[in-house]
Amino acid sequence: QVQLVESGGGLVQAGGSLGLSCAASGLTFSSSRMGWFRQAPGKEREFVAGITRGVVNTYYADSVKGRFTISRDNAKNTAYLQMNSLKPGDTAVYYCAAVYTGGSVYEQSSYKYWGQGTQVTVSS
């Protein structure tokens, strides 16, 4: 059974940094496309970042470009989201997601497997 477990969330002041990890099991990780999404209170879940399998390409929401970095370590079956220069608007539950094929990297409907999420809170 596929499991994705996020970790690294917490409380940080504006301008600070957090690194999120997504540990995958039951999944051919090297063959997967990974994504990070987030959902803030009162808002729809939105795309944050994605990373492809094989020859790696990365994709970012405009709101996080230049501040967040997605990466993966296939040997550790882990995806990462390094978040720098955090803003209060980044406060959300962050979800890791995975899929093998199909759909757009930007769309949550493209992803088959999801973690439970980890809370990130950025204070002013």
Place of tokens 């600070």: 16
Determine the Cα–Cα distance for residues 27 and 7; give it in Å rounded to an integer.
18
pLDDT at position 102 is: 84
Nearest to 34 by CA among 46, 14, 44, 48: 48
Between 55 and 104, name the one with better pLDDT. Answer: 104
pLDDT at position 56 is: 83
Determine the Cα–Cα distance for residues 52 and 109; give it in Å rounded to an integer.
16
**10-14, 36-40, 52-56, 97-101: least confident range:** 52-56
pLDDT digits (tens, 9 = 90+) for 69-117: 999 999 999 999 999 999 999 999 999 999 998 889 999 999 999 999 9
Sign of the alpha-carbon torsion through 57, 58, 62, 67: negative
Nearest to 52 by CA among 25, 76, 79: 79
